[in-house]
């Protein structure tokens, strides 16, 4: 899923405009997770470098000095993949139709620690980014490779205790 | 107890002031230094109230009377380590700290300013009230505190915020008459949070109260300028110092005599009216509509809240 060609991924391509990045993210959300892009019509989507962000329409257009940020980061768009953020999955997880993995309490604990764990097959998911759930609530993103699920919970959000 | 008797940890000048406020130190000081029961607020941006309550039934949470999203838990728990906390389904917030936004009554689609917002307990509560719509400016002057603010906005799933970093004093000029509602949860001497942290004492002094009151005067005027006619300004502090509460609101009322201090209805909270005078100086009589929250009367940190409306004309 991920770009192996790390050497060229930093090069800015002419087609990497805001619209292209957003379109790629929406297409990936639809294809990988079955999230219909119409759910984002009520929001403003915009980019900052290779990240797609999402805000309410009013927050997207308000002009104020000294803005630090608006809304929430939805995904990072790589050359050959799109990686949703933990925060985005937690908020829009109820829309995920495929590539979901339900975790039990012990698996959830490991996931929250940011660890990689063996997941019993078969699960309704293919290799790549998957949305992990606990008791019906979306926890975040994991990277599934065979039987291994690697938690993508960022360091700052991990629960170690 | 006389203020002359030494209370471990608390400066004599502070105890003397509490006595001047008419507080019985024997009752008040132990309550001030005792941790209140733990409370959390359900974050409806992530899930509905019933499903969160369902998920948390093992904690046997008890609802408070003034806000149906706020609950007390028994004993002491590591709420910050719960999966439900990680999921952003709950926000751990002292019960008194949930009052200002309860009083602000944010509505979907509005323009709201949280003038001094980090670490975002009240910003996230406002965003939930707005159902993630409209515009919520989360302003904060301290760059160090913005990281905590954005972390909480992320965990809570807030989409309608614009985080700005500038002195709140600027808003009166740059957004005159713009906001439907404004929360000014002001920088203050934090006497009401001593049970959580005695670090407050490192900066506490009579002089710092005066210095903070002067900052609050500028902030409250700026907030009032930035308010639409008919708009609501909630002013709150987590301190008992009258200079920072009734004094600051009186400062606003002197400049804008037409502004209205609305009476507060706080169901289930034994609050006290604002003081009418301090050290021989009378406050504007309308400040009695403010609510003072004392920890010996309410199971929560010390707080003071005012709801001010700008008249339509
Ligand atoms: C009482 S705390 C706010 C707590 C916050 N409302 C909450 O509920 O999480 C006051 C905040 O005001 C900030 N502050 C201090 N001076 C300020 C100014 N002139 N303009 C804006 N914010 C200021 C402080 O850095 C601090 O974060």
Residue B166: the pLDDT is 98
> Residue A13 pLDDT > 80, yes or no?
no
The Cα of A5 is separated from the nearest Cα of chain B by a number of Å equal to 31
Q: What range defines the domain where residue B264 resides?
A: 95-309
- Confidence at residue A161, expressed as pLDDT on a 0 to 100 scale: 75
Q: For chain A, how far is it from start to end, CA to CA, in angstroms?
A: 32
Contact B55 A137 (CB under 8 A): yes
Domain boundary among A84, A114, A134: A84
Q: Which residues of B are catalytic?
A: 238
Give distance in angstroms: CA of B49 to centre of ligand 1. 29
Residue of A nearest to B55 (CA): A135
The Cα–Cα gap between B260 and B177 comes to 16
Contact assignment for B135 to A68 by CB distance below 8 Å:
no
Residue A4 within a domain: no
In a domain, B298, yes or no: yes
Cβ B12 under 6 angstroms from ligand 1: no
What is the spatial distance between Cα A139 and Cα A132, in angstroms, rounded to a whole number? 5
- Distance from Cα B168 to the centre of ligand 1, integer Å: 9
CA–CA separation, B154 and A50 (whole Å): 19
The shortest C-alpha distance from B40 to chain A (Å) reads 18
- Distances in Å between the Cα of B120 and the Cα atoms of A58, B134, B300 are 20, 18, 18
Same-domain check for residues A80 and A100? no
Tens-place pLDDT, residues A137-153 = 999 999 999 999 999 99
- Contacts of residue B200, defined as CB under 8 A and 6 or more positions apart, other chains included, come to B189, B190, B191, B193, B194
pLDDT at B99: 98
User: Is there a contact between B155 and B184 (Cβ–Cβ < 8 Å)?
Assistant: no
Tell me which residue of B188, B181, B52, B40 sits closest to B107, measured CA to CA: B181
Closest residue in chain B to residue A155, using alpha carbons only:
B151
Of B89, B133, B164, the CB nearest to A64: B164
Give the residue from A108, A106, A33 showing the smallest Cα distance to A74. A33
Domain of residue A51, residue span? 13-84
Q: Is pLDDT above 80 for A14?
A: no
CA of B244 to the centre of ligand 1 (A): 14
Residue A62 contacts by C-beta under 8 Å, 6 or more apart in sequence? A70, B135, B137, B162
In a domain, B124, yes or no: yes
How far, in Å, CA of A157 to CA of B155, rounded? Answer: 8
What b/e sequence results for A69-88 when a residue is b if at least 16 CB atoms lie within 10 Å of its CB, and e otherwise? bbbbbbbbbebebbbbbbbb
Over residues A48-88, the pLDDT tens digits come to 999 999 999 999 999 999 999 999 999 999 999 999 999 99
Question: pLDDT value at position A120?
Answer: 81
Same domain flag for A18 and A78 = yes
The percentage of chain A sitting over the pLDDT mark of 70, rounded to a whole number, equals 89
Quick one: pLDDT at residue A6? 44
* CA neighbor of B157 nearest in space, from B50, B39, B44: B44
Mutate to test the interface with A, among B159, B167, B170 (most CBs of A within 10 A): B159
Question: Which CATH number does the domain housing residue B234 bear?
Answer: 3.40.50.150
Using the 3D structure, point to which of A23, A58, A84 is the last residue of a domain. Answer: A84
Up-side HSE of residue B237: CA atoms within 13 Å toward CB?
28
The pLDDT value recorded for residue B9 is 82
Q: How confident is the model at residue A8 (pLDDT cuts 50, 70, 90)?
A: very low
Cβ(B116) – ligand 1 distance below 6 Å: yes
Determine the distance in angstroms separating the CA of B291 from the nearest CA of chain A, rounded to an integer.
32
Contact A112, A79 (CB under 8 A): no
Do A80 and A110 sit in the same domain of this protein?
no
For residue A32, being part of any structural domain is answered with yes
Whether residue A39 is contained in a domain is answered as yes
B78 Cβ under 8 Å from any chain A Cβ:
yes
Q: Is residue B60 part of a domain?
A: no
Is A159 part of the contact surface with chain B (CB cutoff 8 Å)?
Answer: yes
B211: in domain: yes
Burial class (CB in 10 A: 0-12, 13-18, 19+), B19: middle
Same domain assignment for residues A109 and A50: no
Q: Is the CB of B120 under 6 A from ligand 1?
A: yes
Query: For B27-30, which contacts have Cβ atoms below 8 Å and span 24 or more sequence positions?
Result: B27/B296, B28/B294, B28/B295, B28/B296, B29/B1, B30/B296
What's the pLDDT at B8? 63
Q: Quick one: closest CA in A to B155, which residue?
A: A87
> In the listed set A37, A59, A84, which residue is the last one of a domain according to the structure?
A84
Q: How many domains does chain A have?
A: 2
Contact indicator for A8, A87 with CB cutoff of 8 Å: no
Residue B164 lies in a domain: yes
The count of structural domains within chain B is 1
Query: Which residue from B157, B142, B176, B224 is spatially nearest to A68, judged by alpha carbons?
Result: B142
What span, in angstroms and rounded, lies between the C-alpha atoms of B261 and B244?
16
Residue A80 within any structural domain of the chain: yes
Instruction: Say what the pLDDT of residue A123 is.
Output: 73
Give the C-alpha separation, B119 to B148, whole Å.
5
- B300 alpha carbon to ligand 1 midpoint, in Å? 20
Task: Flag whether B82 is in a domain.
Answer: no
Q: Same domain for A117 and A72?
A: no
User: Would you call the peptide bond into A77 cis, given omega within 30 degrees of 0 as the criterion?
Assistant: no
- At A102, which CATH number? 3.10.450.720
Chain B residues 15-34 within an 8 A CB cutoff of chain A: none
The answer to whether position A5 is within a domain reads no
Q: What is the pLDDT along chain B (313 residues), one digit of tens a residue?
A: 444 444 568 999 999 999 999 999 999 999 999 999 999 999 999 999 999 999 999 999 999 999 999 999 999 999 999 999 999 999 999 999 999 999 999 999 999 999 999 999 999 999 999 999 999 999 999 999 999 999 999 999 999 999 999 999 999 999 999 999 999 999 999 999 999 999 999 999 999 999 999 999 999 999 999 999 999 999 999 999 999 999 999 999 999 999 999 999 999 999 999 999 999 999 999 999 999 999 999 999 999 999 999 999 8
**Residues ≥6 apart with Cβ < 8 Å to B185:** B100, B114, B115, B116, B117, B122, B236, B237
Residue B48 domain flag:
no
B207 within some domain: yes
First-to-final CA distance of chain B:
51
The answer, yes or no, to whether residue A9 has pLDDT greater than 60, is: no
Residue A11 has pLDDT above 70, yes or no: no
């Amino acid at each position: 899923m991920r770009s192996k060609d790390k050497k060229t991924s930093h090069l800015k391509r002419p087609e990497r405009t805001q619209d292209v990045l957003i379109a790629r993210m929406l297409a990936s959300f639809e294809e990988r997770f079955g999230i219909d892009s119409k759910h984002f019509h009520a929001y403003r989507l915009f980019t900052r470098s290779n990240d797609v962000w999402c805000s309410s329409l009013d927050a997207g257009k308000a002009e104020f000095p000294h803005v630090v940020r608006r809304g929430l980061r939805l995904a990072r768009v790589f050359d050959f993949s799109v990686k949703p953020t933990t925060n985005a999955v937690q908020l829009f997880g109820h829309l995920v139709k495929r590539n979901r993995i339900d975790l039990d309490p012990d698996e959830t604990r490991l996931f929250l620690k940011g660890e990689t764990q063996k997941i019993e097959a078969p699960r309704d998911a293919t290799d790549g980014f998957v949305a992990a759930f606990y008791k019906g609530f979306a926890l975040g993103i994991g990277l599934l490779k065979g039987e291994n699920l690697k938690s993508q919970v960022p360091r700052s959000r991990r629960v170690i205790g | 107890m006389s203020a002359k008797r030494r209370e471990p940890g608390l400066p004599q000048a502070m105890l003397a002031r509490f006595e001047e406020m008419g507080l019985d130190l024997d009752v008040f000081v132990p309550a001030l230094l005792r941790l209140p029961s733990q409370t959390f607020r359900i974050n409806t941006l992530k899930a509905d109230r019933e499903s969160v309550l369902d998920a948390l039934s093992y904690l046997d949470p008890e609802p408070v009377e003034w806000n149906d999203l706020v609950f007390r838990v028994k004993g002491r728990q590591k709420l910050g380590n719960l999966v439900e906390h990680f999921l952003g389904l709950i926000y751990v917030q002292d019960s008194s700290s949930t009052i200002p936004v309860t009083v602000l009554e944010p509505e979907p689609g509005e323009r709201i300013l949280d003038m001094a917002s980090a670490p975002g307990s009240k910003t996230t509560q406002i965003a939930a009230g707005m159902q993630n719509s409209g515009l919520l400016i989360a302003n904060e002057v301290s760059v160090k505190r913005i990281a905590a603010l954005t972390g909480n906005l992320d965990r809570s799933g807030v989409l309608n915020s614009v985080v700005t970093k500038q002195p709140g004093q600027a808003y009166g000029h740059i957004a005159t008459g713009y906001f439907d509602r404004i929360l000014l949860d002001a920088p203050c001497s934090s006497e009401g949070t001593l049970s959580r942290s005695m670090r407050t004492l490192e900066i506490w002094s009579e002089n710092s109260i005066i210095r903070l009151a002067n900052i609050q005067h500028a902030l409250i005027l700026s907030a009032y300028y930035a308010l639409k006619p008919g708009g609501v300004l909630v002013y709150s502090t987590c301190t008992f110092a009258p200079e920072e509460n009734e004094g600051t609101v009186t400062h606003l009322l002197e400049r804008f005599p037409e502004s209205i201090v609305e009476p507060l209805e706080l169901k289930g909270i034994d609050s006290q009216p604002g003081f009418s005078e301090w050290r021989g100086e009378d406050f504007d009589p309308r400040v009695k509509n403010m609510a003072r929250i004392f920890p010996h009367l309410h199971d929560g940190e010390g707080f003071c809240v005012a709801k001010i409306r700008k008249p339509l004309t």
